[in-house]
Amino acid sequence: MSSPVQPDGHLALPAAGNGQPVLVLHPWWGLNATIKAFADRLAGQGFVAFAPDLYHGTVTDEIDEAEKLVTALDGKSDQAKKEIIEAVTFLKEKTGAAAMAVIGFSMGAYYALDLSVSAADSINKVVIFYGSGPADFRKAKAEYLGHFAGNDPYEPTENVAGLEEVLKASGRAVTFYTYPDTGHWFFESDRANAYNEAAAELAWERTVAFLKG
């Protein structure tokens, strides 16, 4: 049997060679070293992690440029969603699993939430970092874990509360955490002005426990 063709992105394999699949959706910066390292860290915990590159090689660390990139992606969101489904298919073929977890950061959280509805049978767990998005979750079958900043102009508390309310009203299991005295990107070590090591480590521990639970 031939190996599945890997889409554009970063694949991280555990020492055992196989494990439960986790799809990682990058923030508006692109598939940078921080997100690749996150996937590698998941592999260290025994998961097969794949992060598709929705920008196909373009990466930035400048907010102005990131805003342009995400706006351009918004204009072709159907193509991005198609590529995410291709990544799901790849992970299924790679691992033999019928369903998987998806983790999304900021922009990626929007696509992770959408995926949990559009590919409900394929997604059993969703982890979102400081991101939300509108969706009808009545067809979803996943559990949800959210990590949010205590002071976040990009993701106001009313957005977070609204998302939590909609998920619960849809009968989904949901646990959201807010990390006091943190801002957007608090989990990303390359964002020097936002990274909060203590909050990031706690969010990591909670994420791994959720994925393994």
Structural domain contains residue 1: no
- pTM, 2 dp: 0.97
Residues 77-100: b if buried by 16+ CB within 10 A, e if exposed: eeebbebbeebbebbbbbbebebb
Give a yes or no: residue 86 inside a domain: yes
What's the domain count of the chain?
1
Mean pLDDT score, 84-108: 98
Instruction: Tell whether 3 is covered by a domain.
Output: no
Spatial separation of the C-alpha atoms in residues 7 and 190, rounded to whole Å? 26
| pLDDT tens by residue, 124-158 | 999 999 999 877 899 999 999 999 999 999 999 99
Residue 60 resides in a domain: yes
Q: Tens digits of per-residue pLDDT, 150-204?
A: 999 999 999 999 999 999 999 999 999 999 999 999 999 999 999 999 999 999 9
Does residue 132 lie within any of the structural domains? Answer: yes
Report pLDDT for 117: 97
Q: 10: which 2 tokens?
A: 């970063």
CATH code at 37?
3.40.50.1820
Find, among 135, 28, 112, the residue nearest to 72 by Cα.
28
Taking residues 17-40, report their average pLDDT.
Answer: 98
Whether 133 maps to a domain, the answer reads: yes
Whether 2 is covered by a domain: the verdict is no
pLDDT at residue 4 is higher than 90: no
Does residue 4 lie within any of the structural domains? Answer: no
Banded pLDDT at 3 (limits 50, 70, 90): confident
Q: Which domain holds residue 14?
A: 9-212
